[in-house]
Amino acid sequence: MRRLGILATGLLAAILAAGPAAADPRLRITTEHSPPAAMMANGQLVGFATDKVREILRRTGTAYEIVLLPWKRAYLMAQNEPNTCVYSTTRTPEREALFKWVGPTHDNDWTLFALSERHYKFKTLADVGQLRIGTYNGDVRGDALQAQGFNVDAVQSQSSNPRKLLLGRIDLWATSLRVGNATVVLNGWQSKIEPVLTWRHTQMYLACHRSVPDSLVARMNSALEAMKQDGTAHAIDKKYELWQDPLATASR
């Protein structure tokens, strides 16, 4: 009996020494090319959302890999494949039960961009009528607009939409204010494309497959909250603020 007690004590000590992280799975993190949230620079995946996700995983001691994919594939992988998460994902009532949520990592303004020469003066979405709105497959903005009866033209890649706008193949481009501004600035289109209506404010998350342990999700949320409290999250945002500043003032 004494020997069994010693063995049991030793086993318990080993379990406690291993700690909760020892049982954590290795996570596959998926995302899309969406400057300045996620983008390739000098062969490295960076961006304000990327840096926050990396720091969350570092603080929780979680092993991971990040894979850059087209949005629809990235989203479906996180929905269907165990131990997979996707960012930056809008949290909606329709999606609530599909994932476990870490965040919010940042805010997001749904915005319509147009050619400056059109001089649109929209006050609400109702003013848009049946103008052609460019979105991309799997994007929540496009799904929401289509559900409301708007004339949506979805493509495979978000980067196609500003070029379609310049060619007159669509009238409006639906994206986030921050991503739209960054795309315009990076391509030198400031005199050609401008934001004309922001119609919804949302928050973005790291959305994880239901198989990811609750304990890990809780620790990731705690790590993010600590990052907000100690200034790390703000410092990451400041690092990338020049990607949004040139047009941000004019759009508000």
For the cut 50, the answer to whether the pLDDT of residue 246 exceeds it is no
- All structural domains of the chain, each given as residue ranges with its CATH number in brackets, are 24-108+202-245 (3.40.190.10), 110-201 (3.40.190.10)
- Measured CA to CA, the distance from residue 8 to residue 29 in angstroms comes to 38
For the question of whether the overall pTM of this predicted structure is more than 0.85, the answer is: no
Q: What is the pLDDT of residues 189-221, one digit of tens each?
A: 999 999 999 999 999 999 999 999 999 999 999
Task: Tell me the C-alpha distance between 124 and 61, whole Å.
Answer: 46
Decide if pLDDT at 163 tops 70.
Answer: yes
What distances in angstroms separate CA 28 from CA 39, 70, 205, 212, one per listed residue?
Answer: 17, 15, 15, 11
Compute the average pLDDT of residues 233-241: 94
**Percentage of the chain with pLDDT > 90?**
80
| In contact, 193 and 113? CB cutoff 8 Å | yes
- What per-residue string of b and e applies to 47-72 under the rule 16 or more CB within 10 Å gives b? bbbbbbbbbbbebbebebebeeebbe
Q: Is the dihedral of CA 64, 69, 71, 75 positive or negative?
A: negative
| Integer Cα distance of 77 and 220 in angstroms | 20
In this predicted structure, what is the pLDDT of residue 180? 94
pLDDT band of 10, cuts 50, 70, 90: very low
Q: Which residue has the tokens 């909606």?
A: 92
Q: Give the count of beta carbons closer than 10 Å to the beta carbon of residue 168.
A: 9
- From the list 140, 168, 167, the residue with the least C-alpha distance to 154 is 140
**Secondary structure of residue 249 in the 3-state scheme:** coil
Is the predicted pLDDT of residue 11 greater than 50, yes or no? no
Q: Strand 193-208: give its sheet, edge to edge.
A: 64-68, 27-31, 84-90, 193-208, 100-115, 172-176, 133-136, 152-155
